[in-house]
Amino acid sequence: MGFTNDPVYQQQWADMEKHSPKALPELFTGKQQVWGLHLEPLGDYVDAKIVPFPSPQTPVTPNQSDQTQPVTIDKLRDWYSAADKLNKPDEYKKRIVELANGFKSGEQLSQLALFSMNKDIKEFVHISRLTQIAQRIGMVLGQSRQDGFTEVKGKVYDLSFNTERKDLTIQQKNGDIVLGVQSGKVHTSRVTPEIIKTFEGANSLLDKTYSSYQAQSREIHR
């Protein structure tokens, strides 16, 4: 895959996964195309929570609420993009456009609008991260089916995805769907910080297993 040789992607992947980009060819060579719900990161991921990056113009302390974060036209664009991926109604997205146009004219967002914006963006960031981890787990541990889906049967969750169709399903063993994505848009979401933490743990375990495999491989080839 060409993107694995892209220095920019390699650096982004290394920053995200805290792992050497040298692992990329072994992880993805011969695999399906990887896709994801992508949005420029809004902050650091700490203890299953998004901690916003400080603004260069306005330093932000951890105790400040989301409502005190500076609003920019770029953040309003991010809100619209998040709302679209979250499959919000057209009227909802139209209202975001109206708010953005008003903001350009000097109008300020109401507290309700600020709350909705931050809620949508945070939900989107959580889901985007979850889709990335799920696909990585699937690429390494998954089994390909004849219908083009890759599936993984876990102890707590099962997941399946089709990169060409941009479909992804994560469900509990009882059949309850935690996350359902169709054509790149969210149709069902019951994602919680606890679920994100569980998948982050699985991702870390995958890193440790891969590191152990690399160490053993080096010993064999000495």
Which pLDDT tens digit goes with each residue over 69-83?
689 999 999 999 999
Question: Which residues is 151 bridged to in the sheet?
Answer: 143, 160
Exposure b/e, 174-192, CB count within 10 A at least 16 = b: eeeebbbbeebebebbebe
87 and 48, same structural domain?
Answer: yes
In a domain, 143, yes or no: yes
In a domain, 9, yes or no: yes
In a domain, 97, yes or no: yes
The chain-wide mean pLDDT, for the chain, equals 77
Q: How many domains does the chain have?
A: 2
Residue 61 has pLDDT above 50, yes or no: no
Residues in the chain: 222
48 and 11, same structural domain?
Answer: no
CA distance 74 to 80: 10
Helix axes 73-85 and 90-104, enclosed angle (nearest 10): 180
Give tens-digit pLDDT for 151-182: 999 889 999 999 889 999 999 999 999 999 99
35 and 25, same structural domain?
Answer: no
pLDDT for res 126: 92
25 and 123, same structural domain?
Answer: no
In a domain, 59, yes or no: no
158 and 99, same structural domain?
Answer: yes
What percentage of the chain carries pLDDT values higher than 70? 63
Residue 191 has pLDDT above 50, yes or no: yes
Exposure b/e, 69-86, CB count within 10 A at least 16 = b: bebeeebbebbbbbbbbb
Cα 114–Cα 199–Cα 60 angle in degrees, nearest 5: 35
Structure-block tokens of residue 48? 């299953």
160 and 96, same structural domain?
Answer: yes
Print the domain residue range for 19. Answer: 1-30
In a domain, 185, yes or no: yes
Q: Is 179:190 a contact under the CB 8 Å cutoff?
A: yes
Identify the CA nearest to 18 among candidates 219, 215, 195, 206: 206
Identify the CA nearest to 69 among candidates 35, 107, 43: 43
Mean pLDDT of 136-144: 89
131 and 48, same structural domain?
Answer: yes
CA distance 109 to 171: 37
121 and 108, same structural domain?
Answer: yes
47 and 21, same structural domain?
Answer: no
Structure-block tokens of residue 216? 């053993």
In a domain, 208, yes or no: yes
In a domain, 149, yes or no: yes
133 and 87, same structural domain?
Answer: yes
CA distance 142 to 178: 19
13 and 40, same structural domain?
Answer: no
Q: What is the pTM of this model?
A: 0.64
116 and 18, same structural domain?
Answer: no
